[in-house]
Amino acid sequence: MQSSQRIAAIVGGSGDDGWSVHYRAHGLAAAGVPVTRLTVGDHDVKTDASILAAMQGAMTGDKLGYMPVSGIDPLKAAIAARVTAQGGPPVSTEEVVVTPGGQAALYCAAMAALDPGQSCIVLDPFYATYQQTVRAVSARPITVETRAEDGFQPDPDAIAAALAPDTRAILINTPNNPTGCVYTRERLEGIAALCQARDLWLISDEVYDRQIHHGAHLSPRVLPGMAERTMVVNSLSKSHAMTGSRIGWLVLPPRSAEHVVDLAIAMTYGIPGFIQEAGLYALTHGGEIEDGIRARYRRRRDQALQVLGSGNLVRAVPPAGGMYVMLDIRATGLTGIAFAEALLEQERIAVMPGESFGAAAAGHVRVALTVPDEELADALGRIVQFAGVVKAA
Ligand code: PMP
């Protein structure tokens, strides 16, 4: 039997989902080979014991039954308060849908914004699931490159030039994965003006909004006239080290939120109550936990820039936010893929090839700052040395 064309088309033409180095590193590690894995954005620090205690405490009585499909009221209220604190029109609980992670929120946003055959702007470099998410709803991603020389800031003029008659949405991500770019007010205002002039949705992925090293996060929802056309995606994965709990949210206008609940009824039928209680605890008592996580990545980011400052073959792109550093390895003459594959074979260090995030990240690799400080410093030092060896070869 054949699967539907729709599902078979999710990965797209090449059949490569961009994660092959990561999977290979995983396979090596499972076979007992020591590998430093700097591929995926999962924390070395585990979910805090106090959050787990809240989760365990909720694993009794009615918290093991079905939950309201859009999320439990106190959690939706806490999310509404958190998003309202960013500014702009206050968020009501009718505008909040709790989802199994930010990824599911992205999928729900794509389902709510795009009809089959329509198109969505995706800025390149992009988070590795974006194109698949758009294709999963039978829509078409249109990629618009952001340029290294422009600090990977989005260019509203370039986006305007790329719009097709069937474009219904623009998907953005600030702070950005993989580049670490924090979009400026000016660029976001340019995108907002475009959305209003062309009647487009703006899907705003803000999962790194609490991990700012430089500057400030601005949610485009707060800009005048944008709350009615912005869908804000966020989660507790990065901010509270809760990747495995799969808890996130989508904030969007009430009518569309109702439609997303219809979708959730057809798909998840809600999120486990004990996970939602843990999320509620994290949002209401987890300020110090969040600060600690932010500080950890800030420290490692600074450490990485220090180690890489001296290696001229490997140039770090200083990230303003997030949990990653992009390395420009073009001076070695290798592609990001060739560099990452050889680095894994020879040094047993796994990094993501830039090409996994789009053409604009070619000749780069992305390093996740997700191993203990000493291991990270050692791995970065070896990456610099390795670049010298492959350049000479
Ligand atoms: N958006 C971006 C930019 C991400 O980097 C990630 C996770 N790496 C996600 C969304 C999804 O995260 P989650 O589903 O764990 O919330």
Q: Using pLDDT thresholds of 50, 70 and 90, give the confidence band for residue 262.
A: very high
Q: Quote the pLDDT of residue 391.
A: 80
Q: Distance between CA atoms of 218 and 53, rounded to whole angstroms?
A: 33
Cβ of 243 below 6 Å from ligand 1: yes
Reported as a single tens digit per residue, the pLDDT across 288-332 is 999 999 999 999 999 999 988 866 789 998 999 999 999 999 999
Closest atom, ligand 1, to C-alpha of 322: 5
Cβ of 178 below 6 Å from ligand 1: no
Q: Quote the pLDDT of residue 81.
A: 98
Distance, C-alpha 195 to centroid of its chain: 22
Q: Distance between CA atoms of 334 and 345, rounded to whole angstroms?
A: 15
* Nearest C-alpha neighbor of 95 from the set 255, 316, 236, 265: 255
The pair of structure tokens assigned to 245 is 């709990």
Q: Quote the pLDDT of residue 311.
A: 62
Reported as a single tens digit per residue, the pLDDT across 42-95 is 999 999 999 999 999 999 877 889 999 999 999 999 999 999 999 999 999 999
Over 70: is that where the pLDDT of 13 sits? no
Reported as a single tens digit per residue, the pLDDT across 158-182 is 999 999 999 999 999 999 999 999 9
Query: The whole model's pTM is what?
Result: 0.96
Compute, in angstroms, the gap from residue 275 CA to the centroid of ligand 1: 18
> Which segments of 7-93 are extended strands (E)?
36-38
pLDDT cut 90: percent of the chain above it: 91
The pair of structure tokens assigned to 95 is 């505008």
Q: Are 350 and 38 in contact (CB under 8 A)?
A: yes
Over 70: is that where the pLDDT of 37 sits? yes
Residues in CB range of 132: below 8 A, 6 or more apart: 10, 11, 12, 17
Residue among 207, 209, 211, 324 to mutate when testing ligand 1 (max atoms within 8 A of CB) = 207
Q: Distance between CA atoms of 167 and 190, rounded to whole angstroms?
A: 17
The pair of structure tokens assigned to 210 is 């609490």
